[in-house]
């Protein structure tokens, strides 16, 4: 069993990275073995906003794309509230295959997929990263509690973060849903500070 390796410059572009992820099905690691499809990131290759969830769910496993189920529809509403169109941003997950039974990703599974997330960050160079939920937040800010920092801007190792509650959690809790939309209003303000404008993607000549 071997995991992915993503040294600097390993992928020509995000399409090449996506092809590598899809080809990794059946590698011997449990989620990769049991998943219907591997689920690479999806969206604008020039996005300045990168949205990161924890792992694909059942709908995503069937479709091979991130956030296409109920949580994805709620995410689209949140993005719209923040002044974003889904096609303007890059949406991905920490873990690229659905954990069996929709359970939480295990630490070893997060580590297994970490090189792919690092490659996405290197290729995209986002101006703002939006981690959804505790697993995505933990990649950048270990020990931080999502309920305490959601809706606030953080800086970690030169990266600008704006954590939000995970839409799947908000679907189960009306108070969390209300907070998620309130935090989306704050996200709109953070996005407006990106390069002096609200556009979420740009032509970088790549």
Q: What is the pLDDT of residues 96-147, one digit of tens each?
A: 999 988 898 899 999 999 999 999 999 999 999 999 999 999 999 999 999 9
Average pLDDT over every residue of 58-87: 97
Entry pTM: 0.89
Q: Which residues contact 65 (CB under 8 A, 6 or more apart)?
A: 39, 42
164 phi and psi angles, rounded to 5 deg: -130, 155
4 compared with 107, residue with greater pLDDT = 107
Half-sphere exposure of 16 (CA within 13 A, CB side): 9
pLDDT at res. 96: 95
Q: Is 93's pLDDT higher than 80?
A: yes
> What is the 8-class DSSP label of residue 102?
G
pLDDT at res. 9: 58
**Would you give the distance in Å from CA 201 to the centre of its chain?**
16
Average pLDDT, the chain: 89
Q: Is 26's pLDDT higher than 80?
A: no
CA distance 52 to 66: 10
Confidence of residue 198 (pLDDT cuts 50, 70, 90): very low
Q: Under CATH, which architecture does the 14-196 domain have?
A: 3-Layer(aba) Sandwich (3.40)
């Amino acid at each position: 069993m071997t995991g992915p390796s993503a040294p600097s410059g390993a992928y020509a572009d995000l399409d090449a990275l996506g092809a590598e992820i899809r080809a990794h099905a059946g590698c011997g690691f449990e989620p990769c073995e049991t998943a219907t499809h591997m689920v690479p990131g999806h969206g604008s290759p020039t996005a300045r906003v990168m949205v990161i969830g924890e792992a694909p769910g059942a709908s995503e496993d069937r479709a091979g794309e991130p956030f296409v189920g109920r949580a994805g529809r709620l995410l689209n509403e949140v993005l719209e509230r923040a002044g974003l169109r889904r096609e303007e941003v890059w949406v991905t997950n920490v873990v690229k295959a659905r954990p069996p039974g929709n359970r939480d990703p295990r630490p070893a599974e997060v580590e297994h997929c970490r090189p792919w997330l690092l490659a996405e960050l290197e290729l995209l160079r986002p101006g703002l990263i939006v981690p959804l939920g505790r697993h995505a937040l933990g990649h950048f800010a270990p020990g931080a509690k999502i309920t305490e920092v959601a809706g606030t801007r953080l800086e970690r190792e030169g990266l600008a973060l704006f954590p939000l509650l995970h839409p799947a959690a908000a679907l189960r809790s009306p108070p969390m849903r209300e907070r998620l939309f309130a935090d989306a209003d704050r996200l709109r303000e953070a996005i407006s500070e990106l390069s002096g404008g609200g556009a979420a993607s740009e032509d970088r000549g790549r």
